[in-house]
Structure formats: structure tokens, C-alpha cells
Structure 1
Amino acid sequence: MGSHPSSWLVLLLLIAASVCEGADGASVPRRSLLGSQKHHYAYRQDVPLYANKVGPFHNPSVSYQYYYLPFCKPSEGIEQKLEDLGEVLEGDRMTSTEYDLPFRVDKEHEKLCSKTLTVEEVQKFRQAISDDFYFQMFYDDLPIWGFIGKIAKEATGAMSYLLYRHVHFDIHYNKDKVVEINVSTDPLQTVDISDDEPVEVDFSFSAKWYTSETPFKRRMDKYLRYSFLPQHLDIHWFSIVNSCVTVLLLTGFLATILMRVLKNDFTKYAQEEAAAGEQDEVGWKYIHADVFRFPPYPSLFCAIIGAGTQLLALVFCIFMLALVGVFYPYNRGGLYTASILLYALTAGISGYVSAGFYKQMGGTKWAQNLLMAGALFTLPLFLTFCFNNSVAWANQTTAALPFGTIVIILLIWGVITAFTVVGGIAGKNYSSADFDAPCHTSKLPREIPALPWYRHVVPQTIMAGFLPFSAIYIELYYIFASVWGHKIYTIYSILFIVFCILIIVTAFITIGLTYFQLTAEDHGWWWRSLFCGGSAAFFIYAYCFYYYYGHSDMTGFMQTSFYFGYMSIICYGSFLLLGAVGFRAALLFVRHIYKAIKCE
């Protein structure tokens, strides 16, 4: 593999994932694993079927192991499928079942088991039906869902809780491969569990096999019907057109500034220079000796730019994988695994950028700077994870990570920190020591004149965040419905276009507001540009409340803590990313205009 650090990192993370697999349960017989890997089956050969989880339909973060409910358990004991790191983070906990569905063998009312439900078990099933519980299974890696039961209203007005006792499978095959499976529950074969008394239940299933012309490589296409295609595609394109119009208007606005206002400024300043200083300098040229004065708290500022640059690189890498088809529907945990690996591989970017800027600002507290760069995003994420994982443990859900997985995450965090330090050392030793400033900076800063209220930080931040948010808010609904619902987002090309538009709008609006700030002779643009760039994240978090209370049926403390906790981390990461974009755009603009005039 060689001695390149990235190679060793990949090896370490792969070993970690393997350890994580073995930490979550007993291994499944190799016969089943081979069948799952090859997807080729002979007549009557066993096809692996795993029960994954159950949970309330409207609370996607709240899910339990399949045998949390008293279903029929395998007579030989429950065996857990080995899972990779992404599947564990996804909340998958796949186990063996009593269902026997060999390849191309029809079943007619096959008996699973007969069991007498105790009063406690009846109450558990009834509560699950009341909460609209669903179950999820995987048959040859194809996901299937069904509901536990239903509530029926009788003529007297009373509510009856009916437990489904029969499950039917319709399975389609093409030659020696399974290409489709559908599951249904028979509404006529139910058991009334409305009363608190023991109930005898005969659980059964049936299966019917059909030939199909669907090629194996297209067997996942059917799950696109759960995405937003095609009925919402027009809305997506409307979102793109709306965003493009916003970009064009903003581009035209800034073009007017750059081509007309700046041209007038350059002409005026040239005339003043020709008049040998007979007129006092006014406007943004007046503060040329202060505009490149480094901001307060330079270590924190550089760490934010470094962390934001790393997240920008991470997002672009994930989009590249998505556009080439890596994240197909129900690629279990693929996005989680890719995000962890890519974040680890890009950790050096954060250290390098942060240390490079810090070196140019004359910083000396390198350990503090690198510690901030490494922990600025990961520490809040880890603290949020600890709180939510504790809540999940208390509720005994599959969202609670096993101890072995937590150890692996801590090891990966250590690797990320190490690579951040390596990147920081490289930035300190190999980046340029001179900050590219066209103007000399005076020893004493000029006093910033009194400004009207609308030029203060908060009004400008609100103004800066509104336009980028308006360019993406239509697409946000579909993203939220995918992340916090049961829809599937598959049109990554549109999402990538929207993201690029977001970056462009953020850069342009930050440049425009920076220009107005400088014309008001306010030279404190460093932190202002960062907050203006990242301000769209505040609007996104406000949208979280609107979606939660206006477009979802999520309830309960655990779901609420997961939703607002992790969305706060996502919005915080968006702030770092967009803040870095805004600052870099403003820096390029400021350098450009001050290089175009004579400032001595």
C-alpha cells in the first residue's frame, strides 16, 4: 500500500469498520452471506431474509430491533448479520427470522408459529398499532416494509386494534436472480387485541414467485417511485429557474458596481492624485491604511476559515460520488461511510489553511490554533451525538450505537485530529509568510465613524442571508422530506446545481455588502464578511422550525432532540462553509480594488 498517510488512514478506517462489524452481534452462517454477495441462486436454494427494525412511521429517528415486539423468533436462536460502520450509524440491526423463502418455491399459508400473547405483549402490540408502527426487512438486499396492524372504527363508535397475523410475499425473478419483492398484509386475517387479556395468535405467511424481464442491474429502479420523480420534477426545475434568476439579478447588480461605480471611484481618485492632495480623501480609499489590518481573535478566525474550507471540499467530494451513482437508493449506510472517510481524508485541509492564514497574521500560539481547527466542528458534533445517543439508549432504540462503534468513532476522531496537526505543520512550514496586501497598514487604527442602524452587523447579516436562502428554500423541503421522512432523494444533479448557485449568491452578496461597508469608511470587514457569508445558515435553522411544526408529524422527546440537535450541527457546518466562502470572495474583491489605485 505504500507509506502515504492517506493510504494508512484508509487502511485504519477499513480495519475499524471491520472491528465495528464484529462488535454488534454473532455472525450469520456463511451460506447466507455467500448468497447475499453473489445474488445467484439455484432452485430451492435459501435466499437470505433479514428482519431489520420496527418503529413509528412519523418518527424516523425512533426505531427498535425487530424483536422489540413479540414476533415469532427462530427456533435455533436469533442471529445477527454482520454490518459495516455505515449500516450501524444508519440504525440497521438485521437479524434472522423464521420466514423460509427458498428460491422459486411457492408457499401457501405456511405456519410461522402459534403463540399466546400475554397481557403485557398485547399491550405492547396495541401501543405499536396506535403509534402506526411499520416493520422493515431485507430479502436478498431488497428492502420491504409493512405495517403491524390497523385501527378500525366499529358501528358503535368504539375503536378496535387489529393485529395482522398473515404476511404475503410476491417475488419476481429473472433467471437465477431475484429482481423484485413486494410484501402485503392480509386485512382479513387479523386478531383483535383491543382487550387486556391473553390472545392466541397463529402467525403465518405465503409466497408467490413470478418470472420477470427486469434485468438485475435495474432492480433498484422501482424504489424511485418513493422519490420525488416524476411528479415533482417540474417543481425542482422551477426552483432552479428561480435560483438562476436570483443569480442573474445579483450578478447584474454587482456588475453595475464593478463597471460603473468602481470606475467612477477610480477616476475620482486618479483626479485627486493629479491634484497633488488638494482634496481630502473620502470613501473606501480613505481607509486604505486600515483595510488590511488583521482582525481581532486571529487564531479563532483562521480556524473558522480552515474548518469551512474543509467542509466545502468534503461537500464537493460527496457530490462527485453522488453524480457518478455511488449513492443509489437504499445503499445502506453508504453516505455515512463516505462522509466519515472523506472527512478524515480532508482533515489536513483544515489544518493547512488555518495554519497558513495564522502564519501570515504573525500568530505564535500554534497549538491553540490547531486545536481550534481540529475541534471547531467535531467537538460540537461529538457533544450533540453524546446527548442524543444517551437519549436513544434510554429509549432502547437502534439509534443508540453499540459500545464498539463508539470506540471506533473515538479512534477515527483521533486520526482526524492527527491529520489536522499534520496539515497544520505543513501550512506553517510551507505556506507563504507574507500576506498579499496592496497597501501598507498604519500602526494606529482609524476610528470608525458612527453608522446608521441598517449598516450594523445584525441588519447586514439578515440582509446577506435572505438572498442565498431564497435561492434554495424550495429545494429545502425535498431535502428535509428525504432526511427526516421516507422519501428518497435521487436527483443529485439538480441538488448540485442548487448548491453551486448557493455558493455563487453567497459570494456575490458578501462582495456587495463589503463594498458598501468600505464606502462608509468601516474597515472592520473581516469578521463582517464571514458572518454575512454564513448568515444563510440562520435562515435554514429557522426553516427547521417551520418544517417541524408545519410539514411533519414528528413527536416525542427523542425525535425532537435528534431533529433539532443534528439540524443545529448541519446549520453550524453550513455557517462555517458559507462563511469561508464569503470571506474569500470579499478578500479577492478588496485586494482587487486596492491594487487598482495608488495608496501611498
Structure 2
Amino acid sequence: MNEQLSGRRLVVGDVFKEPNHSMLLCVMLGDEVQITGMAVVTIVLAAFGFMSPASRGMLLTGMILSYLFLGTIAGYAGVRLWITIKGTSDGWRSVAWSVACFFPGICFVILTVLNFILWGSESISAIPISLYFILLSLWFCISVPLTLLGGFLGTQAEPIQYPILTSEISREIPAHKYPSWLLVLGAGTLPFGTIFIELFFILSSIWLGRFYYVFGFLLVVFFLLVVVCAEVSVVLTYMHLCAEDWQWWWKAFYASGSVALYVFLCSINYLVFDLKGLNGPASAILYLGYSLIMAIAIMISTGTIGFLTSLYFVQYLYPSVEIDSKCIFAKSHGLVGNGVDDNGGGDSAMTAELAMMMVVELDGGGNGT
């Protein structure tokens, strides 16, 4: 086979095939919109002085309200990706419901377990039952309807158009020299390096009662985190495609989302070495529970940022690769000559056009959405 037909060109017909657990990926995208949007709105308002940590509960209230009202955009994003992957709107209600319930459900389970532990230890830090009902009412009356509305609007929008067709037969993925999980774990160290110092000050403000006022600097750090996550995910996606690994969707997600693992490990380190004054195991479990919620939120947000960037990168990469690959494929299989006429002139346009038509027929169509 022609040496030019190698690496990422060999998987040109496979890169846009449906990934494993596609519904979960769509749900992650929807929840990422809410989590990232909540973070941006809260940080911006705090940076411009509309919210102050000195006012007890103001930041938390602003975060909850912004999360609830971003449900429309979350449902829209998740359902639109679902239609793009599946090529049909069938099942959009399940996607919208899952977007509305996935991350809040995780938080509800963790908080309930923590509350039972605190009630058992007769701690005053337990969440009152009345607050539980208020949060559930806000979720059911605001977030769920808005998410379903956004999902319906997503069914009316045009799906994202893939630039190339997909083949019906999946290409076998060759064995890798290094395991993918090792690359994923290594990739998370770079985004973590951008937030390590700021994470220490945030933990100190939450658990040691210190006020946090440098929200302008936090906004800059957040922007750097987004940029680094996008770059890391794109680089690893390109490496996998060059290694003929066309199952890049979840690898792109975990490449940038793995920063959450380091955040959680850093939280444990902070508990061991900086929070020695915690009273009893109940306080330590409470700390770990809230740290776990924070790590899951960071994983969903950063992972989906990396995935979306990789999706647009692959869409940009493959339109030019497709034409080049098909011409090389035609030459390597004897469908056309070397493109030079008898007089040593230039390429034959008619021959190239015929080759393209023959290769398109060989591709056998696929999902063009």
C-alpha cells in the first residue's frame, strides 16, 4: 500500500462513527453547559462586585439559581448532539430527562448519605429536611421543565453536519505501544498545574473560614484552564488518530477530565496535612463528600470542554484529508494511473474525477449527518 496512505488517513471513514455509550456523552455535554455556565456567571458577578462572600449564602444562592435557569441551554445542547450522533430525534425525551437528573441526582445521593452520617453523630451541620424539600421543589418546578423545553428546541435545530461519510465496516484498531489510560492520566497533570495554587486558597476559604476576594484572578485562571484542557485534548486526539485509533470520543473527554482525579487527591492531601483540627470522623467524611461533588463537577466540565474542542478539530481536520486519501486509495488499488498524460503533462482532471466517483461508490455511503 502506498506509504502516503497511513495514520489518520486510514481511519477517514471511521472517525465520525457513533461512540460507545453515546447517550451518556450527550448527558455529560448538557450537564457541562449548566456547570460551566454556573461557574462563569458566579465568578463574573463576584468579580464585578455584584456578589460578595461577606454576605452569608449569597454565592451559594447565586450558583444554585444560575444552574437552574441554564437548564434550557443544557437540554438543547444534549439533545442536539444526540440527534447529530443518531441521525434521528427518537429518544430525545430520555436524553433531556437524563440531563436534568444526572448531576443533581449524584449530588442528592451524596448529600443524603452525608446527612444520615451527620444525623447519626447528632451534628448541627446536617441539612434540615425543609431545605431538602425546597431544593427538590426548585429542581422539579424550574430545572426539569426548562431542560425539557431546551430538549424540544434542540429537536427543531439542524444537527451538526459531518464533513465526510462513514463506512459501514469498522477498521480494526492496531495495538498501541503505550496504554491509552497512561496517556490520559498524564494529560490531566497540565490542566491541574494551572489551578493548583488557586485550589489551595479556595479550600482554605471554604474550610478555614477565610474570605476569598480575588475573583478577577480566579476568572483568569478559569480561562487558562479552559485553554489548556482544549489543547491537551486536541493533542491526544491527534495522537490517537495518527495511531489509527478512531475511537477518540471518550478518550478526548477523559484526557482533559482526568484533572478531576488530581483535584480530589489534592483535596485528600489538604485534609491530611492542613485540616488536622477537624472534630471526629464525621467531619472528615463531610469534607470528602463535598470534595467528591466538586471533583465530579470539574470532571464533567473539563472533560466536555476537551471533547467539544476535539470534535471541532476533527471536523476541521478531515475534509481535506478525505479527498487526499481517496485519490491515494484509488492509485494504490489500480483504479487510476499516476495522473500524468502521455506527453508528460499535468494531472488528468477527468481521470481524477472518475477515481473519486469510484471510491465514493466503494465507501458504500454511511451516516452523512
Q: What TM-score do the two structures reach when normalised by structure 2?
A: 0.83
Secondary structure at the counterpart of residue 580 of structure 1:
helix
Per the alignment, residue 177 of structure 2 pairs with: 452
CA–CA distance in structure 1, aligned partners of residues 16 and 258 of structure 2:
23
Structure 2 residue identity aligned to 1:475: E
- SS at structure 2 position matched to 1:317: helix
Tell me the SS of whatever aligns to 1:511. Answer: helix
In the alignment of these two chains, the number of paired residues is 320
Greater helix percent: which structure? 2
In 2, Cα distance between equivalents of 1:437 and 1:506 = 23
One-letter code aligned to 1:538: L
Task: Report the alpha carbon displacement of residue 329 of structure 1 after superposing the two structures with TM.
Answer: 4.1
Q: What amino acid maps onto 1:576 in structure 2?
A: I
Confirm or deny: 8 A CA contact 1:305 1:579 kept in the other structure: no
**Secondary structure at the residue paired with 2:188?**
helix
Deviation at 1:289, TM superposition (A): 0.4
Q: Which residue of 2 aligns with 1:393?
A: 119
How has the CA–CA distance of structure 1 residues 546 and 279 changed in structure 2, closer, same or farther, with 3 Å as cutoff? closer
1:286 aligns with 2:13: no
Deviation at 1:540, TM superposition (A): 0.4
2:234 and 2:227 mapped to 1: Cα distance?
11
- CA distance in 2 between partners of 1:411 and 1:536 (Å): 33
Q: Hey, what's the Cα distance between the residues in 2 that align with 1:565 and 1:401?
A: 14
1:439 aligns with 2:164: yes
Which of 357, 365, 384 is matched with 2:91 structurally? Answer: 365
1:585 to 309, 322, 341: 309
Render the CA deviation track for 1:201-259: whole Å, top value 9, x for unaligned: xxxxxxxxxxxxxxxxxxxxxxxxxxxxxxxxxxxxxxxxxxxxxxxxxxxxxxxxxxx
For residues 184 and 270 of structure 2, the distance between their equivalents in structure 1, rounded to whole angstroms, comes to: 23
Q: Distance in 1 between matches of 2:69 and 2:290?
A: 22
For residues 253 and 169 of structure 2, what CA distance do their matches in structure 1 show?
Answer: 24
Preserved contact between residue 174 and residue 244 of structure 2 (Cα < 8 Å): yes
Give secondary structure in 1 for the equivalent of 2:138: helix
The answer to whether residue 149 in structure 2 is matched with residue 422 in structure 1 is yes
- Do the aligned residues in 1 keep the contact of 2:8 with 2:243 (CA within 8 Å)? yes
1:347 corresponding residue in structure 2 = 71
Q: Which amino acid aligns with 1:582?
A: G
C-alpha distance in 2, partners of 1:555/1:505?
38
Shift of 1:469: 0.6
Question: What is the rounded CA distance, in whole Å, between the counterparts of 2:65 and 2:115 in structure 1?
Answer: 21
Q: In structure 2, give the amino acid aligned to 1:407.
A: F
2:287 is equivalent to residue 563 of structure 1: yes
Q: In the alignment, which residue of structure 2 is the partner of 1:547?
A: 270
- Report the equivalent of 2:135: 409
Name the CA distance, whole Å, in 2 between partners of 1:497 and 1:290: 38
Partner amino acid, structure 2, of 1:474: I
Could you tell me the percent identity over the aligned residues?
28
Q: Which protein is bigger by CA-based radius of gyration?
A: 1
CA distance change for structure 1 residues 408 and 519 in 2, over 3 Å: closer, same or farther?
same
Give 1:258's aligned residue.
none
Query: Does residue 262 of structure 2 align to residue 536 of structure 1?
Result: no
Q: 1:312 aligns with which of 24, 31, 36?
A: 36
Please say if 1:338 is aligned against 2:65: no
Aligned-residue RMSD, C-alpha: 1.6
Aligned: 1:520 with 2:209: no
Q: Tell me, in whole angstroms, the C-alpha distance in 1 between the residues paired with 2:71 and 2:53.
A: 28
Q: Relative to total residues, which structure has the larger strand share, 1 or 2?
A: 1
TM-score normalised per structure 1:
0.52
2:53 and 2:59 in contact (8 A); partners too: no
1:510–1:585 Cα contact (<8 Å) kept: yes
Deviation per residue, 1:310-360 (Å, 9 max, x gap): 211111111111111123242010011111111111011221111111011
Letter in 1 for 2:14: D
Moved more, 564-573 or 278-287: 278-287
Report the AA paired with residue 162 of structure 2: A
Report how far residue 278 of structure 1 moved.
Answer: 5.5
The equivalent position to 1:380 in structure 2, one of 94, 106, 124, is 106
SS at match of 2:13: coil
Gap runs ≥5 in structure 1: 1-276
| Corresponding position: 1:485 with 2:208 | yes
The amino acid across from 2:180 in the alignment is V
1:589 positional shift: 1.3
Q: 1:594 aligns with which of 300, 318, 330?
A: 318
